[in-house]
Amino acid sequence: ETRAPAIVTVSSELGQPRYPTAARKMAVRRLQPKEVSLADLSVARESLAPRVRLVRQFVPEVQGQCEFLSGSSADEIAAQLLSRLCADGTLPAGRIPPGRGS
């Protein structure tokens, strides 16, 4: 859990993906989908109204550049990241919590 705004990145260094076995793939092919209605779930249609509104969608350009930040602690690395995000205009400088960044 975190408070917004937040930037989260995940890369392939996180670990090996888990792939289904051949037996599991075969078993899934035999399954039939089950339809469940809102009444079956005791859910009112009104409660499914979106509470978040998309303002704009941003698709970054792939540049093929990657830089790893290093430091003696997670706080130090986070401060470096915040400073760089503010320097390139991704985050406004006034949004950095006290004690974070430069």
Tell me how far apart the alpha carbons of residues 38 and 3 are, in angstroms, rounded to a whole number: 31
Q: What is the pLDDT of residues 65-87, one digit of tens each?
A: 778 898 999 989 988 998 888 88
Structural contact between residues 98 and 80, judged by C-beta atoms closer than 8 angstroms: no
Summarised one tens digit per residue, pLDDT across range 5-64 is: 877 777 767 777 789 999 999 999 999 999 999 999 999 988 888 888 888 888 878 777
Q: Which tokens belong to 83?
A: 């400073």
CA dist 25 and 71 (Å) reads 43
